[in-house]
Amino acid sequence: MKKTLFIMLCIVYTTIQAQITVTTITPEFNGSGGLSLDSEGNLFIADFGDFLGMADTDGIPNNVLKLDPDLNLTVFASDFTGASGNDFDSEGVLYQSDIRDSAIYKIVDGARVFVTSTGIVAPVGIVFDDQDNFYVCNCGNNTIRKVTPDGTSTQFASGEIFSCPNGITVDENNNLYVSNFSNTNIVKITPDGTTSIIGNTVAGNGHLDYDPNTGNLYIASYSGHQIFSLKLETLMMDDIVGTGVRGNDDGDGETATFSTPNGIAVSDNGEVLFVNCAVLLDGAIINPQIIRKIQLPSLSVEDASLIHNIKTYPNPVENTFTIEANLPVHISNIDIKIVDILGSIIKEIKDIPIQNTQLNHPIDISGMSAGNYIYIISQNSEQLYSGQLIKK
């Protein structure tokens, strides 16, 4: 049964991959670190340096660059020795970690301003929660550091679960998610500091980003030369794009290739990913880089509004489960189908009314056999969303 479900999901995902397009959108430049998008769609690109395992030998400071929506590339700030991860605080100020300085800086009027080095050891990823605390991946000692707005720096998480923690992102509930560079672990950290492994890629990872539209993590597998998604609702991991062969071939999701993808950022609407890739395909030199744009399949209907905040609980389910979601304002009713591992429709509920954009619908499946299923939300025969369901 598990093998049949795997084949079915592979067929579904092959169809999705065919709808993905990958395009190179910049010329070659030096920008091997992390990526962040601001609210206006500007992409900020840190330059880690020319080499992975050693400092640059040219003596020239590294930059943080800005790529605007018109694809103009300019220097945003300079004087870094190893600019790695970055993120914005609630005021729109970009904070930048510097792995070779073991310090965190913020960028004010184009200049770097020192923030803290307390407890910071070879930092990479950085992210802010909704209280303007920021969290730092200490690759140098396998810990996660928390820094409050007043500058207090404390250890937040540690342990063998981390192996050069590299990327870090946060969801709307202030859960943190970390990708390791030196192994395949994807780690969840709850607001009280509890850690757990929630997924694994195929090789060491660069950065990751969270999309609240879909509840997905998107992960750049640096050593695996692929981009993965991890659906937090079901903890299903998928290699959405990249063959695993190192390269920089544009194309659809089935044929495009990536070369040590490191930084990754998802657009506000969840439909575009930006990734930086090394141009050279062998050796330890990681500059120059190019930015690749990954256009994902739209989850939209009519005016491109998305389904938001979808929840399915309990899952696994014994008798009745509930689907909750926020839907676009123009949707007044939907259909829900449950299909088995062979694609046969087991249960279908039609014309479910939507009030004030809110879906909150319990579904009784007590008469169904135990096993794995897929539920599909649609409107007028157009699929809007699908998820995995486990019947106990």
- Model confidence over 71-124: pLDDT tens digits? 999 999 999 999 999 999 999 999 999 999 999 999 999 999 999 999 999 999
* Amino acid making up residue 356: N
Q: What pLDDT sits at residue 387?
A: 79
DSSP tag of 305? B
The pair of structure tokens assigned to 306 is: 């998305």
Residue 300 has pLDDT above 50, yes or no: no
Q: What pLDDT sits at residue 307?
A: 67
Residue 325 has pLDDT above 90, yes or no: no
- Residue with the larger pLDDT of the pair 279 and 9: 279
Q: What pLDDT sits at residue 158?
A: 98
295 CB-side CA count, 13 A: 11
On whether the CB atoms of residues 66 and 31 are closer than 8 A, the answer is no
Distance CA 122, CA 334 (A): 50
* Mean pLDDT on 195-215: 95
In the numeric block, the tokens 């103009």 are attached to 72
Banded pLDDT at 340 (limits 50, 70, 90): confident
In the numeric block, the tokens 């696994």 are attached to 316
Strands 371-379 and 358-364, by their bridges, are unpaired
Q: Is the peptide bond before 69 cis (omega within 30 degrees of 0)?
A: no
Distance CA 216, CA 16 (A): 15
Mean residue pLDDT of the chain comes to 90
Residue 279 has pLDDT above 60, yes or no: yes
On whether the CB atoms of residues 362 and 321 are closer than 8 A, the answer is yes
| Nearest Cα to Cα of residue 208 among 35, 38, 67, 325 | 35
Banded pLDDT at 341 (limits 50, 70, 90): low
Distance CA 134, CA 173 (A): 15
Question: Which H/E stretch holds residue 377?
Answer: strand 371-379
Residue 152 makes CB contacts below 8 A (sequence gap 6+) with none
The pair of structure tokens assigned to 78 is: 């300079």
Q: What does the angle CA 219 – CA 224 – CA 227 come to, to the nearest 5 degrees?
A: 30
Residue 286 has pLDDT above 70, yes or no: yes
Q: What are phi and psi of 247, to 5 degrees?
A: 180, 180
Residue 167 makes CB contacts below 8 A (sequence gap 6+) with 34, 85, 124, 125, 137, 178, 179, 205, 206, 207, 208, 209, 219, 220, 264
Lowest-confidence segment of 124-128, 205-209, 294-298, 328-332 by average pLDDT: 328-332
Lowest-confidence segment of 17-26, 50-59, 218-227, 317-326 by average pLDDT: 50-59
